[in-house]
Amino acid sequence: MSVATAARLPLAVDMDGTLLETDVLAEGMRKVWRERPLGFLDALLRLAMGGRPPFKRRIAALASLDIDALPVRTDFLEWLRSEKANGRKLWLATAADRATAEKVAARFDLFDGVLASDGAVNLKAGAKARALATHFPEGFVYAGDSAADLAVWRRAKGIVLVCAPRGVEQRARILGATVERVFTA
């Protein structure tokens, strides 16, 4: 598939490490640990009892992150704005909890929708790949940065690499999907 053909497909954008220079779960954990240590212990109990989705949900509920202060990859954001202006559908697709993801999406006013972890399902790697393939049966392009994104790129028709480590970039390039764009640090 050519880059021009891939560019007509919806673009699903990872949040942590891709759109944002940080990880909202790590930011939330630090904040909750400092400000509400008993709440942090409650979140850990949820992690032990139910796994990552309820843990993420609890941290998101307790953290009250300043979404506007989260650092952004500005060159990538400008490209997203250009893609949106050209009519491309953009979706935020993240393993972060939905409550936080929706706030981040609202900050940028770019996204047509949000796919995120929901307290029961951790939308990471294979789960994210399945959700995107179901949501976009005609195909999608995925922008990501990490080894966990390789599972998504295997199902994508196009790849956007955003500050991906060299090894991840090399592994993504051999998957066979069109590499639409590469952003470096």
Domains in the chain, please, with CATH? Answer: 3-22+71-183 (3.40.50.1000), 24-68 (no CATH)
Burial string for 33-48 (b: 16+ CB within 10 Å, else e) reads: eeeeeebbebbeebbe
Predicted local distance difference test score (pLDDT) of residue 175: 96
Higher pLDDT, 73 or 185: 73
Predicted local distance difference test score (pLDDT) of residue 185: 77
pTM confidence score: 0.92
pLDDT in tens, 45-103: 999 999 999 999 999 999 999 999 999 999 999 999 999 999 999 999 999 999 999 99
Share of the chain above pLDDT 90, in %: 94
Higher pLDDT, 124 or 1: 124
pLDDT above 80: residue 5: no
Return d(Cα 81, Cα 143) in angstroms, integer: 14
Mean pLDDT of all residues in the chain?
A: 95
